[in-house]
Structures are given as C-alpha cells and as structure tokens.
Structure 1
Amino acid sequence: MSVSAVYPRCVPTRSRLIALLAVAAAAIALAGCSAAAPARPVAAEGTAAAAPAGRAKPQVVAIGDSIAFGKGVRPDEAWPALIAAQHGWTLTNLAVSGSGFVKPGWNGDTYRQQVDTALGLHPDYILIAATRNDRGQDPALVASSADELLGELHDTFPRAHIIGITAVWGADKPPATVATVDGIVQEAVTDVGGTFLDIGYPLARHPELVQADGIHPNAAGERIVATTIEDRLAPLGVTS
C-alpha cells in the first residue's frame, strides 16, 4: 500500500483554520512516511557485518596430481585434506590425476587449468606439488610453465602464502629425473617468495603404505605424507 493511500494528500482550503489543520496533518503524514520508508532489513545488515566472519576460516587451494587428489582413498584422506583439517582451513582441492605442469591429466588438463580455476578464488594459502608425472617431460618446458603459473598466482594473490612440496614417490627408489623436477619447482616457488618443503621420500621402502599399483599412497601413506609436511611446516610458524 502506498503512503498516499494511508495519508491522503493535503489540499489547501479557503479557511485558515482548516489550512492550519492541514499543515498539522501533513506533519503527521511526514512522520508516518519516515517511519514507513523502506529501509535495509536488520537481517541484511547482520549478513553484511557477518560476511568477514563467514570467511573466518582461511581458504586453501591445492594444485597437484593424483596423489594430491587422493586417488584410491576417500577425499578427506588425501594429504591436502589432512593438512587443511589440521589447521582449520577450508579446502578447494583442484588436483587432477595424471596431471603436471606439462603432462596432461586424465581429462586433458595440466596445472594450467587448475591455476586458471584458482585465479577465480580467494585463497589465503596455496598448496602446489611437484609431480612424478613431469619426470619424462622436457625440463625447459616444465621450468617455463612453473615460472609462468607461480608468477600468476603470486601477482593475483600477493598476500597468499604459497607452499610447494617435492614430488611424492612410492616405495621404490625414484629416478634422478624426479629430483630434477623438484629442483625446477623449488626455484619457481622461492622466486615468488613462497615456501618450498623438501619432504624427501617418506614412503620409500614401505610397500605397506602404498596401494597395489605401487604408486599411490593408501590412507596410511597419505597420513605419513601429511605428517611429514606438517613436520616441515611447524618450524615456519604456519598456523590456522
């Protein structure tokens, strides 16, 4: 219902008394209009004020391969999920099985597509893993991609903490090419001021920690990887 329907428009008359009464009525009408004027609902104000609290948990994005994705285990058992739970972070896991900086994953995506998705988010932390999947790729191409993608992440999120880790290998001895990939990613991460964690090979000589394919950690293996990462993070003061 409009204000004019509730408070009829006051029309001047020939009588001074009626005019005075009309002025008084208009004043009352204006007071009524002020009280009835549309205002931002209290709930909306509360929502706006509470928006920062809605992001009280730091946001973390994971970029990686099948091991970061958690192939063969539950999503909450993959090492990025375990790290996020440890710190009380909210995780967006963008990892794709088979992917790398250069090597396309099962869906044809490389880390390029994962980073493109991450650029549309608002992460406080970025986890990015070197991967065994790039070990057979041209090192120059891996270096070019790593430099480009890490540069984009840093330029877009200059306040985000970028955390890189070495490639996760299985129970057998890794080839030298894995160390080459690790070195490339380490340089790209540190060049943009990120933190790079050398976690070694925590699954080496522990076949009980990997799945039947000999590559992917089982749930216990993922926990070992996460614990090793935490051990490297602790001295750096990374907290929730």
Structure 2
Amino acid sequence: MSKTRARAAVAVLLLTLLMSSGCAATVPASEVGLDPSATPFPAAPVRMPSAGETAPASVPAPVIVTIGDSIMAGYGLDPGEDWPTLLADRTGVPVTNLACSGAGFIADGDCGSDFAGLIDAAIAAHPTMVILQSSDNDDGQSDADLDNAAMTTVVALRAALPDARIVGLSTLWNQPYDAPDEIVSSTIALQTAVDAVGGTFVDIGQPLQNGQDLMQFDDEHPTAAGQQVLLDAITSALAGAGIYV
C-alpha cells in the first residue's frame, strides 16, 4: 500500500470513530494525515431502506448555516443586508449566519473565537448544509499552520454533522490589485479540507475586486449593493457546481 493510501486509510478510520462517538472535538490535521493528493473521504452516504422497511416520507427540509468573516457578517451595514440573510429572503430557506468579524481558521474574531469555535452553534441549528468561507483574516500565517487549522476545523465539522452537506467558498479579495499569496493559500487550505471530507468546494472568483463603487469607505467591506452582487455571484457559482438553493 502506498504512503498516500495508507494515510488516507488512517484518516477514514479516524473520521469514522469521530462520527460514531458523536464527538465534535477538534483533531490536529497532523494526526489526520491527509495531503492534497490523498484519496478524499467519500460524501456522507445515503442509507436506502432494506427489505421490509418503509422509506422516509420525505427528505429533511433544507436549513443552511454560514460561517465566515466580517464580509459575510455584513460589517458596517444594517441588519439583514448581509448576503446570507438576502439568500434566505430570496429563497425562503432558513439561513443561520454565524459569520464572525475578524475571525478565520486561526484568527479569533469579535465573537471571541475562530471558526472552529462556531461549530457548537452550527450543530444547534440542525443544518442540512453548511457553507464555510476562508478569510484574509488569517494573513501572515504559515501555509502549514493554515492547512492544519482548516483541516482540523472541517474534520470536526464533518464529525459533528455527518449528514450535512459541507460547501467551501474561496477567499474574497476586494482590492483592485493582485491578491497576496495568503489569499491563495487560504483558499487551497479550505479546498483540500473540504475535498477530504467529501464536501463540495466552489471557487466564486473575485466579484468585487474591480467594483470599488460597491465598497464602503474602508475599501474592504461591501455596501448593501455589494452584498447583492456577492449573493448573485455565489448563487451562480453554487448552481454551476450543482447546488441549488
């Protein structure tokens, strides 16, 4: 057995144990032992009724949880102008926006935690889908530390919510010049982690990069109109990946 397959097998065993125990505790990625070339975890299986069993009358109604930073939180705007709330208004699907200004996979935000610290709140919402977006708040971190933190968080999220669909979104960069290496690194870290647990990663591009008229005075956070642009870009990218909400 190759080293890659051996490490993937260990990862599958670890995730299976986590899900069977119902434990949402985080596990260091170094113990998970995954790398971008490793065989990903399969998507959460759909159990078909066996002979003599009655199939469920219907699938669970969709419920979405979003986890991200101040852009997703709608920093500087009135309540309800963030794109997750706009998504709920447009579709009628309940959306719980857990975005925390200043937070990332490593950075603690105004809520007092990083993204991993939001998992308990995500569990309480009983989501059928969790949308998680990497953040430029983790700039200045090493690739290894960012990879480890993203993997640890996403593995814990999968263990806590084994039946939910996990969707990762690429990191936003709203300045008119090329994104720094940290933006690319944070996107790759989340993509690797989401792929590893059988989730879906979606690259939404940079819909606000050349739209400075859609940014607030700080040139960092979108206006209400900018949030609408984000919503359209994200729903279009999700649809392109076969995810319709």
Q: Which of the pair is proportionally richer in helix?
A: 1
Letter in 2 for 1:113: G
Aligned counterpart in structure 1 of residue 130 of structure 2, from 105, 122, 126? 126
**Residue equivalent to 1:115:** 119
**Residue equivalent to 1:76:** 80
**Residue equivalent to 2:227:** 222
RCO higher in structure (CA 8 A, sep ≥6): 2
Identical aligned residues as a percent: 36
CA RMSD of aligned residues (A): 2.1
Task: Single out whichever of 160-169 and 79-88 deviates more from structure 2.
Answer: 79-88
Shift in alpha-carbon separation, 1:219–1:176, aligned structure 2, 3 A: same
Shift in alpha-carbon separation, 1:133–1:119, aligned structure 2, 3 A: same
**Larger CA Rg, structure 1 vs 2:** 1
Which aligned segments of 4 or more residues in structure 1 are displaced greater than 6 angstroms? none
**Residue equivalent to 2:242:** 237
Letter in 2 for 1:66: S
SS in 1 for 2:174: coil
* Superposition TM-score, scaled by structure 1 size: 0.72
Asked whether the equivalents of residues 68 and 100 of structure 2 are also in contact (C-alpha less than 8 Å), the reply is yes
- Is 1:144 paired with 2:163? no
Q: How many residues align?
A: 188
Structure 2 CA distance for aligned equivalents of residues 77 and 226 of structure 1? 11
Structure 2 CA distance for aligned equivalents of residues 117 and 83 of structure 1? 20
Structure 2 CA distance for aligned equivalents of residues 168 and 102 of structure 1? 17
Q: Unaligned regions of 5+ residues in structure 2, if any? A: 1-56
Alpha-carbon distance, 1:56 to partner: 6.8
Alpha-carbon distance, 1:135 to partner: 1.8
Aligned counterpart in structure 1 of residue 163 of structure 2, from 142, 155, 159? 159
SS in 1 for 2:132: strand
Shift in alpha-carbon separation, 1:127–1:75, aligned structure 2, 3 A: farther
Letter in 2 for 1:221: G
**Residue equivalent to 1:5:** none
**Residue equivalent to 2:194:** 189
Structure 1 CA distance for aligned equivalents of residues 89 and 196 of structure 2? 28
* Superposition TM-score, scaled by structure 2 size: 0.71
Asked whether the equivalents of residues 202 and 241 of structure 2 are also in contact (C-alpha less than 8 Å), the reply is no
Deviations 1:58-101 (A, max 9, x none): 21111110011110123322122223333321111111100000
Shift in alpha-carbon separation, 1:206–1:235, aligned structure 2, 3 A: closer
Q: Unaligned regions of 5+ residues in structure 1, if any? A: 1-51
Structure 1 CA distance for aligned equivalents of residues 60 and 115 of structure 2? 28
